[in-house]
Structures are given as C-alpha cells and as structure tokens.
C-alpha cells in the first residue's frame, strides 16, 4: 500500500558523512567539502565550511568566493532561476534559433518543434 511518501523512494546519493535534505535530496556537506555530492575539496583558508547555497545542481565556486557555478539551463546568484524563453546553456548566454513556434531546450538549445513542424530549427 502506498504510504503517500513518494519523495522517500529514492536513495540518498550523498557520501556517508553528508546527510541528504529530506525534501530536496541535496547533500549537507561537512566542513572542507562542497559540490552536489560533496566531491570538491575547499581550498585552504576559504569560507567553504558554510553550507553551499547553490540550487538545481549548481556548485559553490572552489575559490570560496561564495559564488555559484550554475549548470546549463539555470542562472542567478544561487542558480535558482531557469533560463528565460529564448535563452539556453551556461548562464543562459545562448540564444535560441527555433522557428514556427518551436521551443528551445534550456540546457542544450535543441528545438522542440510545434505540432506539424520538423527539423533542427
């Protein structure tokens, strides 16, 4: 019988010293490590001991400058904003070239064609 806890079915991908956030699955990295799976060591003497605030797969910059390096399709100070329509890629710097109502994938820039249309753009 389903207990209603659909969010509790996935295993925690974090290492043993980094418990998962029960709501988001994000790793709570121990001091000295950062990254989505706590795989990036912090440079000596940086404030990397504090939890990384980056969201959506973003990682804290290893320089300890408290800036996030966002994955493709995300932007903003903590990678919390998806690319606006017509933009894609790292930092949403890519400009989509889709025609006839096609929608651009915010991560890779591939066009998703509207019904009745086909082709790369």
Q: pLDDT tens-digit profile of 38-82? A: 887 776 655 565 667 788 888 877 665 667 888 888 888 888 888
Q: Are 90 and 109 in contact (CB under 8 A)?
A: no
Q: Are residues 64 and 98 in the same domain?
A: no
Question: Is residue 4 predicted with pLDDT exceeding 50?
Answer: no
Question: Is residue 95 predicted with pLDDT exceeding 80?
Answer: yes
Q: Are residues 92 and 52 in the same domain?
A: no
In a domain, 5, yes or no: no
In a domain, 6, yes or no: no
Select the more confidently predicted residue: 119 or 96. Answer: 96
Q: What is the number of structural domains in the chain?
A: 2
Question: Tens digits of per-residue pLDDT, 100-115?
Answer: 877 888 777 788 887 8
Of 80, 66, 75, the residue nearest 107 (C-alpha): 75
Q: Are residues 58 and 19 in the same domain?
A: yes
Q: Are residues 48 and 87 in the same domain?
A: no
In a domain, 121, yes or no: no
Question: Domain residues for 88?
Answer: 83-112
pLDDT of residue 1: 36
Is the pTM higher than 0.95? Answer: no
- Interatomic CA distance for residues 75 and 113, integer angstroms: 24
Mean of pLDDT values over 117-121: 72
């Amino acid at each position: 019988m389903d207990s209603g806890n659909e969010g509790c079915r996935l295993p925690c991908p974090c290492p043993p010293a980094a418990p998962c956030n029960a709501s988001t699955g994000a790793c709570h990295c121990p001091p000295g490590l950062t990254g989505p799976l706590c795989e990036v060591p912090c440079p000596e003497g940086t404030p990397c001991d504090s939890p990384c605030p980056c969201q959506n797969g973003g990682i804290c910059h290893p320089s300890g400058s408290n800036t996030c390096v966002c994955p493709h399709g995300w932007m903003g100070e903590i990678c919390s904003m998806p690319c606006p329509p017509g933009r894609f890629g790292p930092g949403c710097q890519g400009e989509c070239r889709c025609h006839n109502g096609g929608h651009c994938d915010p991560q890779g820039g591939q066009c998703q064609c509207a019904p009745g249309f086909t082709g790369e753009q």
